[in-house]
């Protein structure tokens, strides 16, 4: 152990960890990123169009979305509201951005969606709940420590990050809407989405979500924000690849020049 501690690479790593003041839950979240990326390259998460039998009991899609996302709303709000810095704008202003997104994702998105009746494995719901508790805790810690340290709120990174967050939200909100309008209520068919960013990529909803959480990381200037943005990419990029393949296999007229996730690049 002494040898390892004296070894320069080890020292750089342990110094970085100490300087970064990284908690164990945050370290776990960073470690989860490559694990999730590699797992999802091999196994497509079996919900929605990729649903498969053999993953245990299932839940209806709407209920699954509400159950999965509710902890993301509750954990951070409870921790910030119960903290002594709840009145500090460094804590509650970013919290409003978070609630804006999760209010939409937890209640409005499931209420408006037109699912085909495909169900959602309870196992995935449990995994998502565990992740949302961990992520909510880490991001609450970041907001609370910004409140305690009284970091300057109205900074360049706050405005730039906030603008990127809202741009990302607008992108995934619009893409979610375009996808929803592909079906009339009660319909089950899948169609090729058109218009907006779908002209260039197959999954602009995922692109918008990734952009939004990069904005959050910049706005809060926190490692917790960076861990969430990285996780979102690791979670959604492999699914965008699976969706692209899925469209190509089923729709011979799927636009050949449509990229997977990033216009003109990937």
Interacting residues toward ligand NDP by CB under 6 A = 48-49, 61, 113, 115-116, 118, 172, 176, 179, 182-183, 190-191, 193, 205-206, 209, 232, 235-236
Distances (CA, A) of 68 to 95, 120, 236: 19, 11, 16
Find the shortest distance in angstroms from Cβ 58 to ligand NDP. 12
Find the shortest distance in angstroms from Cβ 8 to ligand NDP. 36
Find the shortest distance in angstroms from Cβ 229 to ligand NDP. 10
Find the shortest distance in angstroms from Cβ 190 to ligand NDP. 4
- Nearest to ligand NDP of 158, 231 (CB atom): 231
- Nearest to ligand NDP of 157, 188 (CB atom): 188
- Nearest to ligand NDP of 221, 254 (CB atom): 254
Bridge-based pairing of strands 58-59 and 120-121 is antiparallel
DSSP state letters, 93-113 = HHHHHHHHHHHIIIIIHHHH-
Find the shortest distance in angstroms from Cβ 72 to ligand NDP. 9
Which one, of 216, 236, 233, 234, lies nearest residue 225 by Cα? 216
- Nearest to ligand NDP of 122, 153 (CB atom): 122
- Nearest to ligand NDP of 68, 85 (CB atom): 68
User: Cβ distance 254 to 245 under 8 Å?
Assistant: no
Find the shortest distance in angstroms from Cβ 63 to ligand NDP. 13
Find the shortest distance in angstroms from Cβ 1 to ligand NDP. 37
- Nearest to ligand NDP of 158, 213 (CB atom): 213
Which one, of 35, 9, 15, lies nearest residue 230 by Cα? 35
Exposed/middle/buried for residue 104 (C-beta within 10 Å: 0-12, 13-18, 19+): middle
Phi-psi map region of 75: left, alpha, beta (phi>0 left; psi -120 to 50 alpha): alpha
Tell me the residue nearest to ligand NDP as measured from the CB: 116
Residue 127 neighbours by CB under 8 Å, 6+ apart? none
- Nearest to ligand NDP of 21, 185 (CB atom): 185
Phi-psi map region of 264: left, alpha, beta (phi>0 left; psi -120 to 50 alpha): left
């Amino acid at each position: 152990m002494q040898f390892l501690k004296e070894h320069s690479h080890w020292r750089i790593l342990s110094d970085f960890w100490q300087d970064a003041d990284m908690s164990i839950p945050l370290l776990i979240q960073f470690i989860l990123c490559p694990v999730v990326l590699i797992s999802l390259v091999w196994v497509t998460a079996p919900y929605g169009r990729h649903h498969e039998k053999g993953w245990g009991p299932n839940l209806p899609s709407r209920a699954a979305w509400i159950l999965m996302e509710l902890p993301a709303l509750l954990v951070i709000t409870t921790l910030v509201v119960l903290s002594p810095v709840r009145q500090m704008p460094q804590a509650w202003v970013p919290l409003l951005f978070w609630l804006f997104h999760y209010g939409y994702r937890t209640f409005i998105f499931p209420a408006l969606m037109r699912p085909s009746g495909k169900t959602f494995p309870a196992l995935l719901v449990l995994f998502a709940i565990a992740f949302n508790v961990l992520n909510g805790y880490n991001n609450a810690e970041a907001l609370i420590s910004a409140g305690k340290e009284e970091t300057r709120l109205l900074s360049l990174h706050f405005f730039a990050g906030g603008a990127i967050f809202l741009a990302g939200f607008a992108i995934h909100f619009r893409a979610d809407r375009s996808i929803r309008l592909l079906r009339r209520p009660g319909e089950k068919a899948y169609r090729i989405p058109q218009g907006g960013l779908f002209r260039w990529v197959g999954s602009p909803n995922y692109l918008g979500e990734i952009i939004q959480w990069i904005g959050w990381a910049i706005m809060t200037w926190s490692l917790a924000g960076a861990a969430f943005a990285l996780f979102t990419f690791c979670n959604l990029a492999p699914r965008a690849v699976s969706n692209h393949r899925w469209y190509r296999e089923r729709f011979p007229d799927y636009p050949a020049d449509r990229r997977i996730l990033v216009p003109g690049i990937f």
